């Protein structure tokens, strides 16, 4: 492989990984959003088991629901619930908060 072809492959890999990171969302931004928007009802931090609203599951509980994925969370957050306010989150906010919630699955 020529040097220029190798550089093109490397550039493609870098751009692809950056796009995947954007698709996956930013965990830190998701955590900040959760603390701002969701913490009035939900326990949003890892290890916090009791939500302010006893009917609202903790984010850690949500993360450990079998089959819970970022896609499932995205759908759930865009679906009306009688017990949850209708949130209007931007696509980036949705990606960030779902990335944060699913990251809680990986924490001890």
- Record the pTM: 0.74
Tell me the H-state helices in 25-69. 27-33, 59-63
State the CB neighbour count (10 A cutoff) for residue 80.
Answer: 7
Burial class (CB in 10 A: 0-12, 13-18, 19+), 50: exposed
Give the Cα separation of 59 and 34 in Å (integer).
9
Write out pLDDT tens, residues 2-23. Answer: 555 545 555 455 544 444 444 5
Domains and CATH numbers, the chain: 26-103 (1.10.760.10)
Query: 68: which residues sit within 8 A by CB, 6+ positions away?
Result: 62, 101, 102, 105
Write out pLDDT tens, residues 21-39. Answer: 445 799 999 999 999 999 9
Give the Cα separation of 67 and 71 in Å (integer).
10
């Amino acid at each position: 492989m020529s040097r220029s072809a190798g550089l093109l492959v490397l550039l493609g890999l870098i751009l692809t990984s950056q796009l995947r990171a954007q698709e996956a969302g930013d965990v830190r931004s998701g955590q900040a959003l959760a603390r701002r928007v969701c913490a009035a009802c939900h326990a949003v931090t890892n290890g916090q088991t009791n939500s302010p609203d006893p009917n609202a599951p903790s984010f850690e509980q949500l993360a450990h629901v079998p089959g819970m994925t970022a896609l499932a969370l995205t759908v759930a957050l865009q679906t009306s619930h009688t017990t949850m306010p209708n949130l209007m989150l931007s696509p980036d906010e949705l990606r960030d908060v779902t990335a944060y919630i699913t990251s809680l699955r990986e924490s001890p």
